[in-house]
Structure 1
Amino acid sequence: MQTGTGPSGRKRASFIEQARRGQVVEAAAETVARTGYAHASLSRIAEQAGISKSVISYHFSGKDELMVLVAEQFIEAAAEYMSARVEAETTASGQVSAWISGQVEYYGAHRTGFLAMVGIVSNHRSPDGSSPFADALNEEVEEFARLLRRGQEDGEFREFDPHATAGIILHGVEGLLSAWAMDESVDLESRLDTLLDFIHHAIRRGDG
């Protein structure tokens, strides 16, 4: 006979706790997406989740921890989706397309999470005023620059500054997504095709 004090009981409690934390994270994302970062108070998040504010306080130290977790989980899920697509390609050109299309497709299929992530990354600051996401954003540029550099080494891409170009390309993707964030009727698929065509014409060799 099993009791709540045995291993089975601990696993059940752990599962319930994880489920509750997941519920709060989802409610936080929905609240930020709907009301904006500044107005996403713990009280509003609790109301969205259908729980008391004290339940959130039990599972999280405060709004700071919760907001960072919401953004980090979304970023990690998007990165996993993109990585699988990029790794399936064998050329630098194919990986560039897979990176950009994978990101746009994932965000397009998860609008609420995307809006929440953008709101948090743009507005959340650590106690010293720094952004806890700065390193991740810089690493994204560095990783994309390495991909562009590989394309140059393989003879697919013309000569240009990989780091500067990586920043320009990723800002172009950001511009597309920003337009869609402001207006859901924006045709992401059509504009993605146009953006990819523009990018490849800009970076490929003249005889490619």
Structure 2
Amino acid sequence: MTENRRLTFTEEARRRQIVDCTIGLMSERGHAGTSLSAIAAAAGISKAAVLYHFTSKDKVIEAALAHVLDAYVAAVSQQVEAAPDAEGMIVAYIGAAMRHLGEHPTHVRVIVEVLANTGAAAPGTTGATQRWQAVASMIDLGKEAGRFRDVDSRVMALAIGGALDGVVAEWIADPTFDLDAAATELQTAVLLALRAG
């Protein structure tokens, strides 16, 4: 669909169905196993119908990744924005990120597959930059309030992101790994590293 017009309710629903099927397939079969034909079969439509909505496999996968990231950002932002102060924001960020990813394992696999196969959202890209900047702004608030020591906010934000990624990678490798306990440990470690005095 190349026209620049408002989608109908039916078109929106069909696009969402295609995206959902793509997320499921990428989780089960990986990037290579998620062909346009497989997406069409999973959605119960023709390959031409998929191409009507998305002009290529890359476009479908971009839409799937955007959906996954939008859901993650919405879930985490809601918790962070409800926090009363910078410490609460950091705790909420770590807890909400772990909780959301734990509740949406197919989303985690989409992110991993896209990173491994296309390099999208790799370190240094807009998504990665926005991530550390958001965390750094929370740290800056804590520094301004005198709650956090004078740390390099960027370095600490990158360290927090790296720790989250490491914990999630361990959980992917070992689904019995306790994400809730890991979140608590990580929250404690980060606050100890940040607190003034």
TM-score of the superposed pair, with normalisation by structure 2 = 0.90
Displacement of 1:121 after TM fit? Answer: 3.5
Moved more, 24-33 or 105-114: 105-114
Q: Is the 8 A contact 2:94 2:186 kept in 1?
A: no
Q: Distance in 1 between matches of 2:140 and 2:116?
A: 29
What is the CA deviation profile of residues 84-128 of structure 1, one whole-angstrom value per residue up to 9, with x for unaligned ones? 1111112100000111111111111111122112311442258xx
Map of 1:72 onto structure 2: 66
Compare 39-48 and 21-30 and name the one that shifted more: 39-48
Q: Which residue of 2 aligns with 1:20?
A: 14
1:54-203 equivalent positions in 2, closer than 5 A: 54-124=48-118, 134-203=125-194
Task: Check the 8 A contact 1:70/1:117 in 2, yes or no.
Answer: no
CA-to-partner distance for each residue in 1:140-170, whole Å, 9 max, x for gaps? Answer: 1112111111111111111211101110111
The separation in 2 between residues aligned to 1:102 and 1:22, in whole angstroms, is: 24
Task: Report which of the two structures shows the higher radius of gyration computed on alpha carbons.
Answer: 1
* Runs (5+) with no aligned partner, structure 2: 1-5
How many Å apart are 1:39 and its aligned residue?
2.4
Does structure 2 retain, via aligned residues, the 8 Å contact 1:71–1:121? no
Q: Is the 8 A contact 2:25 2:34 kept in 1?
A: yes
* Letter paired with 1:165: M
Partner of 2:90, secondary structure, is: helix
AA aligned to 1:147 is M
**Which residue does 2:3 correspond to in 1?**
none
Greater Cα offset, 39-48 or 95-104: 39-48
Unmatched 5+ stretches in structure 1? 1-10
* d(CA) in 2 for partners of 1:30, 1:77: 15
Q: Residue 92 of structure 1 contacts residue 147 of structure 1 at CA under 8 Å; is this kept in 2?
A: yes
- For 2:46 and 2:172, how far apart are their aligned partners in 1? 31
TM-score under structure 1 length normalisation = 0.85
Query: CA RMSD, aligned part only?
Result: 2.1
TM-superposed deviation, 1:40: 1.5
1:16-46 residue CA offsets vs partner (Å, 9 max, x unmatched) = 2111111110010011111111221112222
